[in-house]
Amino acid sequence: MATDAQPPPKRGATLTLEIEKFADKGMALARVDGFVILVREGVPGDRVKARIYKKKKRYAEAEIEEVLEPSALRTEPRCYYFSTCGGCKWQHVQYEAQLEAKRESVEGALQHQGGFSLDNVEVQPTIGAEEIYLYRNKMEFSFSAQRWLTPEEIATGRDFDTDFALGLHVPGNPFKVLDLKECHLQSEVSQRLVNGVRELAKAEGWEPWHIRKHEGFLRHLVIRQGTHTGDLMVNLVTNGHHPERMQTMAAYLQATFPEVTTFVNTINTGVAQTAFGEAVHTIFGPGVIYDTIGPYRFEIASNAFFQTNTRQAERLYAVARDMADLRPDDLVYDLYCGAGTISIFMADAVAHVVGVELVEEAVANARANAAHNGVENTTFVAGDLKELFTPSFIETHGPPDVLVVDPPRGGMHPDVVKQIATMRPERFVYVSCNPQTQARDLEMLSEVYSIEAVQPVDLFPHTQHIENVVSLRAIG
């Protein structure tokens, strides 16, 4: 049947739109005669007036000029920097609706990337966090010699000093650093530290990093906090070693922030925008912090990987442990084990756990963590799973009863997936921070494994990120 659909709208056009659903990257979807329009900060149920700022062949992107009728799912964002910062794209969405949107995104991934039918697979409601603000145990702020102003700051008409900023950069653009006076992701002391360190640095005349010229002294301020222990690390990343300045900073921190338990200085003289560097000097305190997950205590160095939401990590690991249905004689493989947190968390219920991890330092941390917690039935192996995970590895360590994997965002290498299919341990738990690559990997295994349960866990309120745990059983 012929339709009399209008041609797609043009760039610059202003339209009235009804928002249907959430889409990727904090956008929401509306349609005009079937043509997709992705609306920044839209919420399903909104009626908005929006202006198209980008037009592609198959879709356009628009920003809201006016909310004509707000969705019932809207709420007031807490942060002044909400629209510009983009760190928390969903602060304007009620938390329950965020959780449901994440559950649906897992369903979408299983259907579209995995080819699974929702008739056979049920995705459980997302396990939400009790604390939806101040939940991160680590924040990395950047210094910049070119401050990026928010539209609200520009609208004040005031003259801003734009050659010093300490804050977060606009997503995907390290050149645009906002000078943040508030951020509700870490603790209240973390907010005060950002403001205090900025004031001191400016008063002392220390130069912030110039990202284009690759010069300047101050590069990053990383704050790590033990959620359960109260330990607090300040890590100042600088271009070059300047002991006198570090003594000035140490004296300031000790006088003004008695909460700080350790202060370290990372030296990064390279051009890469990273808080890692070629050396780490401990200026005061032990140089590490501790945090606990369940009954276990973990040592966290300035550059060690540790889940950034401690309370929800504990829930995530509890889900994985539950799904693994552990038995006293089990041999468990924990692949992509990082600093051994999951291995250690499961070890007391089984005979032995073998953890495998690429990064040597993380493996050293895993061994130390096991030893400090009196966990004796773990073995940690360093190496790239793609090369390491072969029949001879299984001959050496024994055939596993349970396999737990927790790969990075890219998912598993196909060779690792193939090896899992061949080895086919009875129970298999796949923890993932990217449901799309997870679904892709699981599709390759759908002939040999059936999905038993799917449980999303929210570690990152106000963002689209979700951790998803899938429990599988070998077929036949």
Q: Which residues in the 416-435 window bind ligand SAH by CB under 6 A?
A: none
List, in order, residues 6 or more apart from 80 with CB less than 8 Å away: 152, 181, 182
Min. distance of Cβ 388 from ligand SAH in angstroms? 7
Tell me the longest C-alpha to C-alpha distance in the chain. Answer: 79
DSSP code of residue 70: -
Binding region for ligand SAH (CB under 6 A) out of 24-32, 236-244, 332-340, 448-456? 332-340
Note whether 408 binds ligand SAH by CB under 6 A. Answer: yes
- Looking at the Cβ atoms of 341 and 463, the one nearer to ligand SAH is 341
Residue among 234 and 356 whose Cβ is closer to ligand SAH: 356
CB count within 10 Å of CB 58 equals 7
- b/e 241-271 (16+ beta carbons within 10 angstroms → b): eeeebbebbbebbeeebebbbbbbbbbbeee
DSSP lists the bridge partners of residue 113 as none
In 3D space, the residue among 47, 48, 28, 46 whose CA is nearest the CA of residue 38 turns out to be 28
Q: How far is the CB of 338 from ligand SAH (least distance, A)?
A: 3
Asked if residue 80 lies in contact with residue 181, where contact means CB atoms within 8 angstroms, the answer is yes
Residue with tokens 């804050």: 167
Q: Is 200 helix (H, G, I), strand (E, B) or coil?
A: helix
Closest CA to 402 of 471, 309, 314, 317: 471
Measure the CA dihedral 403/409/415/417, to 10°.
40
Q: Which of 107, 406, 458, 467 binds ligand SAH (CB under 6 A)?
A: 406
Query: 351 or 359: whose CB is closer to ligand SAH?
Result: 359
342 touches ligand SAH (CB under 6 A): yes
C-alpha distances out from residue 435 to 194, 225, 315, 442, Å: 34, 28, 18, 10
Using the rule CB under 6 A, is 305 a contact of ligand SAH?
Answer: yes
Residue 357, interface with ligand SAH (CB under 6 A)? yes
Binding segment toward ligand SAH, per CB under 6 A, in 113-121, 123-131, 210-218, 402-410: 402-410
Name the E strands within 294-384. 296-301, 331-335, 352-357, 378-382
Among 170, 359, 421, 444, binds ligand SAH (CB under 6 A): 359
The minimum distance between CB 472 and ligand SAH, in angstroms, equals: 18
**Window contacting ligand SAH (CB under 6 A); options: 20-28, 126-134, 169-177, 404-412:** 404-412
Size of the site for ligand SAH (CB under 6 A): 19
Interface region with ligand SAH, contact rule CB under 6 A, candidates 20-28, 158-166, 186-194, 384-392: 384-392
Between 132 and 359, whose beta carbon lies closer to ligand SAH? 359
Whether 433 is catalytic is yes
Using the rule CB under 6 A, give the single segment among 90-98, 124-132, 286-294, 354-362 that binds ligand SAH: 354-362
Enumerate the β-bridge partners of residue 210. 215
The one among 9, 87, 226, 338 contacting ligand SAH by CB under 6 A: 338
Contact between 337 and ligand SAH by CB under 6 A: the answer reads yes
Are the C-beta atoms of 346 and 316 separated by less than 8 Å?
no
Pick the closer one to ligand SAH by CB: 179 or 357: 357
The answer to whether 74 touches 94, Cβ cutoff 8 Å, is yes
Task: Compare residues 386 and 473 and give the one whose CB is closer to ligand SAH.
Answer: 386
Asked if 59 and 75 count as a contact pair (C-beta separation under 8 A), the reply is no
Structure tokens at 298: 């973990």
Query: Does 358 participate in binding ligand SAH (rule CB under 6 A)?
Result: yes
297 touches ligand SAH by CB under 6 A: no
Contact with ligand SAH (CB under 6 A) among 386, 397, 465, 473:
386
442 binds ligand SAH (CB under 6 A): no
CB of 434 to ligand SAH, least distance (A): 11
Helical spans, DSSP H, in 373-456? 385-388, 391-397, 414-423, 435-444
Q: Indicate whether 347 belongs to the interface with ligand SAH (CB under 6 A).
A: no
Catalytic residue among 88, 183, 337, 433: 433
> Are the beta carbons of 32 and 9 closer than 8 angstroms?
yes
Q: Which residue stretch of 74-82, 252-260, 356-364, 392-400 sits at the interface with ligand SAH (rule: CB under 6 A)?
A: 356-364
The one-character DSSP state at 460 is S
Radius of gyration of the chain from its Cα atoms, rounded to whole angstroms: 24
- Residue sitting closest to ligand SAH (CB): 338
Q: Does 341 bind ligand SAH (CB under 6 A)?
A: yes
Position 385 contacts ligand SAH (CB under 6 A):
yes
**Residue 471 CB, nearest distance to ligand SAH (Å)?**
16
Instruction: Please give the positions annotated as active site.
Output: 433
Kindly list the residues in this chain that would bind ligand SAH in the complex (CB under 6 A): 305, 307, 336-339, 341-342, 356-359, 362, 384-386, 406-408
